[in-house]
Amino acid sequence: MARKTITQDAVYEVCYVCDAVFSPDGASAAYVVAEVKGKGDKERQELSIWLVDIESGERRRLTLGKGGSYHPRFSKDGSNLYFLSTREKLPQIYCMPVAGGEAEAVTQLPQGAGPFEITPDGKSIVFATLASPPAKPSDDDNVRVSAPWYRFDPVPGYLKDVKQALFVMRIGREPKAVTEAEGLILSFAISPDSKRVVLARTAVPGHEFFDADLELVTLGRKPHSEHLLASNIPSQMSWSEDGASLVYVTNGKGLASQQAVFVLPIGADKPQNRTSATDIMIGTAIQAHNPARIQGRQRIVDGKLYTTATVGGEANLVRVSLTGRKRVTPISAGQRITYLMDERGGNILHISQDPLNPPALCMTNIESGDERVIADHNTVWREKYLLPDVERVVAKSERKVEIEGWVLKPKRGRAPYRTILSIHGGPHAGYGYAFAYDFLELVGEGYAVAFMNPRGSTGYGEAFTRSILGVWGHPELKDFHAFLDELVRRKISHPDKLGVTGISGGGHLSGWLIGHTDRFKAAVPEQGVYNMLSMWGTSDAGKALIEIEMGGPLHKIPMKYWELSPIAYAHKCKTPTLLLQGEDDIRCPMEQAEQLYAALEHHGCEVELIRMKNCNHGAQVGGRTQLRRFRMDVMKDWFARHIR
């Protein structure tokens, strides 16, 4: 049977594996699948939990009914499965027998429960959530602001109203708060003896964006807390096997640096960087345009840390030594991106994806490196549709700097193709071998989709990442031209049929490009940064991000802020431009798009502004399906009108 062209409806048939854990005996795994259910106004992204037998690959769905079910965790003996569910609207912890049976609510908190872990002794559940239900909004809710950082995308409202505490619940009893209610608890780790918890708390008084405090909580009849360390927000965190140290991953030099592994002995005041001998990005740091919100984890086995590392456009499993000589040893390889989920008996459970394969559940043996797919829900989908060819492209920019990128080429039609250049956000992030449903939708319309990692991206060393500080837009402009020139030279892209788009930092660079070149026939910047002067004071990231990126504080170098703003060059723009901005976005606030819209319109450029309702930063890619469909419909219409 002939394969079909990819359409918008086709990409909504995809299932995404987005979380997984081994059973205690390692014979099975519980995992979460995200898929679209319903049609029209009732269409929704649904999360369900499945169980797969590791040996046979047989799988069965465990959760049904209304609401989403996610975050599975096995009881110590493996007989029960605990999970979060929104079947009663607010997330609560539920428990069900693995062998089959009804799920029962374990918590019934009026403010809902948060992501949890079961203590190693199997006796208690630990989770973080609001200390009390938020107050209902009123017409007279006047807000007094006194903190340097008071809003955080995607937290609704104001940070002062969403104070969280750590809760401990003896299984079979009621949960109790064991810390003060303050700030947001972003992650925590339970000690091997089940007696202590280290948590990362942010948004407390005095914090700026990306600040975190590591706090040690001793459990027992009279729980008490003590401050461990001021840090950047950690993305992963766990205890050493002997309970003597904390092992965590964070940006060692702040927002504009690559992530590293740190070891902090309990009681010490200075952590040790265990990956400083290798210029490598720890963690999976590749932007994926799909709704599978996957959070990678780390595991410590025999005194070594297992996690992932990003190299170029790939992210694979690595082993990091925690004592002695500093070593980072690859465990797996491949043109894909991987998130570590769990480890048991020398096997690593992970989720992997690439441009033609949505996230699937896989397992790799540490000793042999043998890998196999455990659960893939998209075999029929791949056989049904005509997927593009993927070509890696390396271009030489100024001073022979190598720039890596890729292009998805449609199977139908002839080269050179109409081509859309997509630019990643961050700016310190990257594109690579990820599955992007919106790219495939554009391919289905006959476009080639090109994406690349200009200077400033992660995965190519610390110097490459930091090379744009104080010169935003200038190195990248040369890199984009070199990359597009290479696509034209290879006769992949038609030089007179180019479009550009990008989200956040990619929105900024889209806006920057159209003020510096006329080679694009149409542009769709999304949720971008266009005026650094106002971004400094209106974004939740504001001062913390922009002062680093601009190379100094606003009052000392105001002209540099202006000179590195796309709005300063809007009067030169002749490219028809469609601006997409979320009404609820506080990372790149609506005023950014309003200013660029006003400047482009004033100078006679064809421009429209789409104000996306109920849309915070990036929600048009991973949020409500209706919003995702709308975003792609207006984007495709704009490109179709101007690129022929």
Is the pLDDT confidence value at 282 over 70? yes
pLDDT in tens, 334-374: 999 999 999 999 999 999 999 999 999 999 999 999 999 99
Instruction: State the amino acid at position 614 in one-letter form.
Output: N
Q: How many CB atoms lie within 10 A of CB 115?
A: 18
pLDDT in tens, 525-583: 999 999 999 999 999 998 999 999 999 999 999 999 999 999 999 999 999 999 999 99
Question: Considering only 111-125, 129-143, 237-251, which range has the smallest mean pLDDT?
Answer: 129-143
pLDDT bin (cut points 50, 70, 90) of residue 135 is confident
pLDDT in tens, 300-343: 999 999 999 999 999 999 999 999 999 999 999 999 999 999 99
Going through 397-536 in order, the beta strands assigned E by DSSP cover 402-409, 417-423, 448-453, 493-503, 522-526
Is the pLDDT confidence value at 65 over 80? no
The per-residue pLDDT for 137 is 81
Burial of residue 246 (number of CB atoms within 10 Å: 0-12, 13-18, 19+): buried
Is the pLDDT confidence value at 486 over 80? yes
Dist CA 451 CA 404 (whole Å): 9
Supply the DSSP string of 60-72, one letter for each residue.
EE---SSS-EEEE
- 479 three-state secondary structure: helix
CA of 502: how far to CAs of 90, 148, 294, 425, in Å? Answer: 33, 29, 21, 7
How does strand 577-582 pair with strand 607-612? parallel
Query: DSSP letter at 230?
Result: E
**Residue whose structure tokens are 């259910």:** 37
Alpha helix (H) residue ranges in 395-467: 437-444, 462-466
pLDDT in tens, 251-264: 977 888 899 999 99
pLDDT in tens, 428-472: 999 999 999 999 999 999 999 999 999 999 999 999 999 999 999
User: Whole-angstrom distance between the N-terminal and C-terminal Cα of the chain?
Assistant: 31
Is the pLDDT confidence value at 270 over 80? yes
Three-state SS across 288-354?
CCCCCCCCCCCEEECCEEEEEEEECCEEEEEEEECCCCCCEEECCCCCCEEEEEEEECCEEEEEEEE
Beta bridge partners of 188: 199
Dist CA 412 CA 418 (whole Å): 12
The per-residue pLDDT for 256 is 87
Sequence-distant contacts of 544-548: CB under 8 A, at least 24 apart = 544/149, 544/208, 544/209, 544/210, 544/211, 544/255, 545/209, 545/210, 545/255, 548/254, 548/255, 548/256, 548/469
The per-residue pLDDT for 195 is 97
**Residue whose structure tokens are 């099975």:** 28
Question: Is the torsion defined by CA of 55, 372, 339, 248 positive or negative?
Answer: positive
pLDDT in tens, 28-41: 999 999 999 998 88
CA of 562: how far to CAs of 427, 588, 636, in Å? Answer: 18, 17, 32
pLDDT bin (cut points 50, 70, 90) of residue 1 is low
Dist CA 566 CA 598 (whole Å): 13
Determine if residue 172 is left, alpha or beta; phi over 0 gives left, psi from -120 to 50 gives alpha, anything else beta. left
- Whether residue 528 contacts residue 511, with contact meaning beta carbons closer than 8 Å, is answered with yes
Is the pLDDT confidence value at 157 over 90? no
Q: Peptide bond preceding 525: is omega within 30 degrees of 0, i.e. cis?
A: no
